[in-house]
Amino acid sequence: MSSIRIEGLVKIYGRVRALDGLDLTVEPGTVFGFLGPNGAGKTTTMRILTGLARPTSGRAWVAGIDLSTDGRHLARRIGYLPEEPAFYPWLTPGEFLDYLGRLYGLSAGERVARVTELLELVKLTEVRRRRIGGFSRGMRQRLALAAALVSRPEVLFLDEPASALDPAGRKEVLDLIEGLRGQCTVLMSTHILADVERVCDVIGIIARGKMIVQSRRETLLAQYAAPVFEVECADTTKLQRWADSLRQRAWVTAVSVVNMTVRVVVKDIELAKRELLVSAVQADLMLDRFEEIKPSLEDVFLRLVGEEGMQ
């Protein structure tokens, strides 16, 4: 049984069709990256799956619960980390997690054990008696993740879990998410593509309320990422002239110039390997770098979302 299943989900706000027949399946134990441009329908989907909104039509199941008929027990089966989590600043992290444990009906002994376990997991044991109001953004985000895990959820929803953090804070949160693989199903919505590429097993990209593609990360990169070369040269005048000439080649898809670097997207990688360097030499470029770039999730995302936008 899938941990999350969506069939033909539609959500209309006035004249805005936020979701337009969305289909989605997430298998148990998966860390699922949920991507899309602003306005694609990610937040609307998250709100419906967490019981905070109802669809106009279509059906959705989370942890085996049909949200159209039996949403009452959903809260005990899921965890949710919103983009901007809220706390009682006068409480300590231990008091805050204990309070949540009470709401979930845990006994006193269960609460003590669970709070201790979670504070160790998110590395807040040493500050368990400090007031949350004095915490850094990274500490609050780790505490919010601990709060979402109090009930040992089957499915965990994360909305931009690391977008406002500095590099050290992002690494801490991503390490925690990576450690949840296999323990529960994680659906992570974010605009930071590098984070998705690092921790997610499966990726779904939506645009205009519809699923464009859903695939395992490796398959997605292999199928949709176009070959890319980067060429660096200090002589920007010659570099720009060469870049302009490349746009006329049939095997070149796109050319961009940033400072002293030309980025070339090609259709035929073997032909590019034979002709690109020869062309640079013929243009009298003194190369500082010539490199075939590993395709990234950003390349795939921009290509797919761009194609959708042109339809």
Q: Would residue 115 count as lying in a domain?
A: yes
Sign of torsion over alpha carbons 96, 100, 101, 103 = positive
| pLDDT at residue 158, rounded to an integer | 96
Alpha-carbon gap, residue 205 to 203, rounded angstroms: 7
| pTM of this structure | 0.81
What is the rounded end-to-end Cα distance, in angstroms, of the chain? 34
Letter for the amino acid at 285? L
CATH code of residue 179: 3.40.50.300
DSSP string for residues in 195-224: HHHHH-SEEEEEETTEEEEEEEHHHHHHHH
Give the confidence band of 310 by pLDDT, cuts at 50, 70, 90.
very low
Give the confidence band of 309 by pLDDT, cuts at 50, 70, 90.
very low
pLDDT tens, residue by residue, 201-246: 999 999 999 999 999 988 888 787 778 899 999 999 999 999 999 9
Alpha-carbon gap, residue 53 to 65, rounded angstroms: 15
pLDDT tens, residue by residue, 124-176: 999 999 999 999 999 999 999 999 999 999 999 999 998 878 888 889 889 99
Residue range 45-69: mean pLDDT, rounded: 93
| pLDDT at residue 26, rounded to an integer | 96
In whole numbers, what is the pLDDT of the chain averaged over residues?
91
Give the rounded distance of the alpha carbon of 304 from its chain centre: 16
| pLDDT at residue 163, rounded to an integer | 80
Alpha-carbon gap, residue 309 to 207, rounded angstroms: 8
Q: Encoding tokens for residue 273? A: 């390997």
| pLDDT at residue 168, rounded to an integer | 86
Check: CB of residue 244 under 8 Å from CB of residue 252: no
CATH code of residue 260: 3.30.70.920
For 234-248, give one letter per residue: b (16+ CB within 10 A) or e.
ebeeebeebbeebee
Do 218 and 234 have their domain in common? no
Give the confidence band of 296 by pLDDT, cuts at 50, 70, 90.
confident
| pLDDT at residue 308, rounded to an integer | 53
Do 233 and 154 have their domain in common? no
For residue 148, what are the domain limits?
Answer: 4-222
Give the confidence band of 108 by pLDDT, cuts at 50, 70, 90.
very high
Domain-terminating residue out of 222, 250, 282: 222
| pLDDT at residue 307, rounded to an integer | 56
For 28-65, give one letter per residue: b (16+ CB within 10 A) or e.
eebbbbbbbbeebbbbbbbbbbbbeeebeebebbbbeb
Domain-terminating residue out of 175, 206, 222: 222
Q: Would residue 310 count as lying in a domain?
A: no
